[in-house]
């Protein structure tokens, strides 16, 4: 049986409940929030484009902001 991955809405809800404020700029977040975003991206199976202009955590945060 395949592992269920987090949907973007589930991931955003999980991060919001953990205290991540999506109204803030990514660079204004604390290191604990950034690590939480990176861990959530891994759980969701998110992979950034190889030419993306930032870290996986930053790209995932920006992706979730648009959802």
Tell me the pLDDT tens digit for each residue of 11-62: 999 999 999 999 999 999 999 999 999 999 999 999 999 999 999 999 999 9
Band of the pLDDT at 4, cuts 50, 70, 90?
confident
The answer to whether residues 20 and 9 touch, using CB atoms and an 8 Å cutoff, is: no
Cα separation, 23 vs 10, in Å, equals: 18
pLDDT at 64 exceeding the cut of 90: yes
CA distance 60 to 56: 6
């Amino acid at each position: 049986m395949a592992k269920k991955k987090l949907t973007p809405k589930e991931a955003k809800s999980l991060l919001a409940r953990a205290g991540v404020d999506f109204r803030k700029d990514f660079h204004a977040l604390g290191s604990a929030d950034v690590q939480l975003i990176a861990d959530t991206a891994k759980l969701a199976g998110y992979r950034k484009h190889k030419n993306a202009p930032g870290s996986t955590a930053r790209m995932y945060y920006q992706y979730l902001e648009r959802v």
